[in-house]
Amino acid sequence: MKYLCMRNAQYRDSSKTICMAGRGDVVDTDQEVGSSFKPMEEVVEELNFMTSSEAVLLDATWSFSKAAETIKTECNVELKKTDKADIVAQIMDARFRKVG
């Protein structure tokens, strides 16, 4: 199952090795995780293109039209439809330019 790390924390991966996860990291494990992790199903329901981390945007399933509409409204930038990683990079760039 996939989880989103809400703050820096440790978890056990599938081979029961202790690993570190940073805030915003997406972790895929079948082991039990602590309270610092949130299941991705819950995160996808409340996905916000203006605040979600790059890892969450890459891992979540979302529609291009919704992302394009949100970024056009919030940042006044039109996204170009390419592969998902490129679109996420465009979103991150638009958010950075809005802040700067």
Closest CA to 77 of 45, 48, 43, 49: 49
The predicted model scores a pTM of 0.61
Residue 89 has pLDDT above 90, yes or no: yes
Contact criterion met (CB below 8 Å) for 31 and 16: yes
Domain ranges of the chain: 1-46, 48-100
Q: Residue 46 and residue 68: Cα distance in Å, rounded?
A: 17
Q: Residue 32 and residue 66: Cα distance in Å, rounded?
A: 33
Q: What is the pLDDT of residues 23-39, one digit of tens each?
A: 888 888 888 888 889 88
CA dihedral 45, 48, 49, 50 (to 10 degrees): -170
